[in-house]
Structures are given as C-alpha cells and as structure tokens.
Amino acid sequence: MTRELHLNLFISGRGHHETAWRHDGSARRALTDIAHYRDLALAAEAAKFDSVFFADQLALGDEVEHAARGDLEPITLLAALATLTERIGLIATASTTYSEPYNLARQFASLDHISGGRIGWNIVTSWVPAAAANFSLERQHEHAERYARAFEFVDVVSKLWDSWAADAIADDRESGRYADAGRVRKIGHRGEHFQVAGALNVPRSPQGRPVFVQAGSSTTGRGFAARYAEAVFTAHLQKESAIEFYSDLKTQTRALGRRADQIVVLPGISAAIGSTEAEAARVWEELNELSHPSVGLARLKSRFGGHDFSHLKLDQVLSVDDFPDPSLVQASQSRAQAITALVARERPTLRALLHGLAGARGHFTATGTPEQIAATIEDWFVSGAADGFNVMPPILPTQFAIFAEHVVPILRKRGLFRSEYADQTLRERYGLDPVASAFFDADETYRQRSA
C-alpha cells in the first residue's frame, strides 16, 4: 500500500493570521455563528480532507480591543458539526488539567456516537497561565505536574471507554434482556489524581474511543505523544527541525512497542498562495499592514509565561539576551524554544519577529504559487518531515478555497492525496488499528460490532 498524505484543516476564527478578521478576504459572519464553521467544515469535506480541528484556551486572551476573541466552545461546536457534515473527521481540544475524566469520557463517547465514529480528541494540559485563575487555583500547576495528571487522566478515560464491550447490548425485547451485565464493568480506578468507579454511562462508541491527538512538543510532551498519540500536530519554523522531531517521535513510539505508522505526524503549514509569487507575498503584506503591535506583544508575553517585553522598541534588533531561558518557561516550552532559536539565527527586529509570528504563531509559513506549495508539501512528505499537514490558512475562507481548488488537484495528480473517501471512521482514515477493549475479548473491535 502506498503511503497516503493526510490533510487536516485547522479552523481558527477568520484565519490564522491575527489580522485576518479585518482582511477583505475573510468571512463576514460572527465568530459565534455556527454557519461560519459549517461552511468551512463542508468546504473541507468537499476537498476530501481527513478532518477539521479546533484549538482551545480556557481563558479569554488579552487584547480583545484589537484581536478577534470569543467564539464557540469546541465540544458543543463538534456536536453541531457532526450533524451538519457527513464524512469529515472532527477533532476538538479538551484539557486534562481542567476537566473531570468522567465528564470528558461521556462527552467524547457521545460525540463519537453522534458523528458515527468521526471524532478525535486533541489532548492538552492547558499551558495558558490565565486558565488557572478561572478554575479556583491560586497558581498554575507546573509543567511536570500537568503532564503527570495527563498520563493518569488518559488512563482513566481509556478504561471508561473500555467499560462496555462492543456487544454488551442485546436489546432483546422478547426475553427482556437489555444488556449482558457481564459485558459492562466497573473500572475501580484508584490513582494519585483520580478515583473513578465506573462504568461509563454511555455504551461503547463506533471507534471504541476518539482518535488521540496531541500537540505538545516539549520533552515530556514528546514522551506523552509516543505513549498515547495517534496523530500529532506540531509547529516547526523550518524543515530541519520537523525532520528531527519526526524521526525522534517515531523512534520513541517504536521504543514503546508501537508501530511507527500508528502515530501520524502533521506539522502546521500556513501558506499564502497566489497565482504568482509576488501575489502570494502581497497577502502577507496586506495582513501585516493591518496589524497592531499590542496584539503580537501580548501573544509573545503569553508564550513566555508572562514575561514583559514592553520595554523593547519595534525597530530594535533582537538577541537571545532579550528573552528568558525557554527551559524555565512554565507555558509552551517547545514554542518558546523555537522562537529563541529563530532570534539567535536571524537577529530580526521586534517588528519583523512579530510579523513573522503573527502569521501562524510559530508554525511554518509558506509563500508561493499552488505548484510551489504542492512541491513543498511533497518535499516534506517524502523527506521524513511529515505524514501530512495541519493546514492553517492565513485567511478563511479565501486562502483555504485557493488551497482546495488549486493545491489539492496537484497533490492528486501526483498520487499523494485521495479523490474520494474510502472509509467511514476517522481512525480508519488515518490508517490506525481498531481499538480493542482492555477488559473484554482481545479480538473485540468496532469492526465486529458493525458486522
């Protein structure tokens, strides 16, 4: 079987550039209007994308004055989109730090039923410090503690999803036997962070459980991904670091006894596409002309765990001495690391750095014609940098429409990307093995259930 490219559309507001909301090419609807997300999900489905994805933060960002903040909550959004779409995978972010395993397990099992097996869970530990203050905590848990809780959390919810055998429900009206009590069991979890009796009150869902997605790229984050993740979103400013990450993650995954193809690595790509290179470059210029420095500074401060950069001048050339040690940042360590590496390498002005990061917040940005973008995608795909991409159009919907209309056909012509969906569940689409219940027959899978 030839290797298949995977494409996920990362839907964020009116586009991934922070000024997209002002650009003529961005959607007009309110960010609280479900029709906005429906239109984008249907466009991704028409392009036969694997899935769409929604990030999340458990606090309102600063700078509501100049940035488009405040939208819909991802789990309710996913449930609504499940009924408005038919085939596309749907991935929502939810936090292991600020939710209860029983609640999260129920909601995702329910989503998987409602969507007919198209759900993924982007597992996050919520690095934004402001979130803690919304959840009755004096201060944010430290990075290591957040991950310790995350490991146990995923263990608990996995047991809950395994607490019903796929064939537990008999629904036999004649005999009066609704379920086989021996095929539904309490989990009796007693751990350091959680004590959960179970069973879940939602029967086993079409995929058994949601596809596990993860996006942390710190050392601990990689270890977590190697253990649990089936798809990984990752941010790289250049191909070299993507190759290093890809290779390291596949190696770590194999070291834990998992097959390397059971973890799909999807770097972010934010491409400005034009019919000429100049037209593509003009997209960034237009977006940067609309920018407000306070938004980028607030974002940089948040990336570095609240560090204050306000004394720096916009035209000042930066050095690493202007930044705190990224390994001490109790927020998104891998992203802070990438930014300081870029500063050391390129010595940009603050303005140039903010413009660079405004595009895709530390993800890879590309600029070019559809042929050039398709070539970059193929290059990363065949060079061991990616199994596919987390597509982050700078402007929604127009830059995605160009991608779908002009880049996707090239990828198809090169035999890299599907023309039709050949599968039902997101798990199948990502080439992942069925999930057996840890409690019941080893050969029990959702395949049997649908047989």
Q: Which tokens is 369 given?
A: 């014609």
Q: Which of 348, 267, 332, 268 is nearest to 300 (CA)?
A: 332
User: Would you say 292 or 406 has its CB closer to a second copy?
Assistant: 292
One of 72, 281, 312, 341 touching a second copy (CB under 8 A)? 72
Q: List binders of a second copy among 81-100 (CB under 8 A).
A: 82-84, 98-100
User: Would you say 203 or 348 has its CB closer to a second copy?
Assistant: 203
Number of residues that bind a second copy (CB under 8 A): 77
User: Would you say 172 or 325 has its CB closer to a second copy?
Assistant: 172
Three-state DSSP class for residue 363: coil
Cα 9 to Cα 271: distance, rounded to the nearest angstrom: 12
| Count of residues in the chain | 451
Is 73 near a second copy (CB under 8 A)? yes
One of 39, 42, 135, 351 touching a second copy (CB under 8 A)? 135
Q: List binders of a second copy among 205-244 (CB under 8 A).
A: 205
Is 173 near a second copy (CB under 8 A)? yes
Contacts of 432 (CB under 8 A, 6+ apart): 211, 230, 262, 264
Is 68 near a second copy (CB under 8 A)? yes
Between the alpha carbon of residue 249 and those of residues 7, 51, 259, 261, 312, the distances in Å are 19, 22, 11, 11, 37
Confirm whether residue 147 is marked as ligand binding: yes
Confirm whether residue 93 is marked as ligand binding: yes
Q: List binders of a second copy among 280-299 (CB under 8 A).
A: 290, 292
Cα 54 to Cα 12: distance, rounded to the nearest angstrom: 7
Three-state DSSP class for residue 366: strand
Is the Cβ–Cβ distance between 34 and 11 less than 8 Å? no
Confirm whether residue 311 is marked as ligand binding: no
Beta carbon of residue 268, minimum distance to a second copy (angstroms, whole number)? 22
Q: List binders of a second copy among 97-116 (CB under 8 A).
A: 98-100, 102-103, 106-107, 109-111, 113-114
Helix runs in 9-58, H state only? 34-46
Beta carbon of residue 437, minimum distance to a second copy (angstroms, whole number)? 15
Residues of each annotated binding site for FMN: 56, 93, 143, 147, 217-218
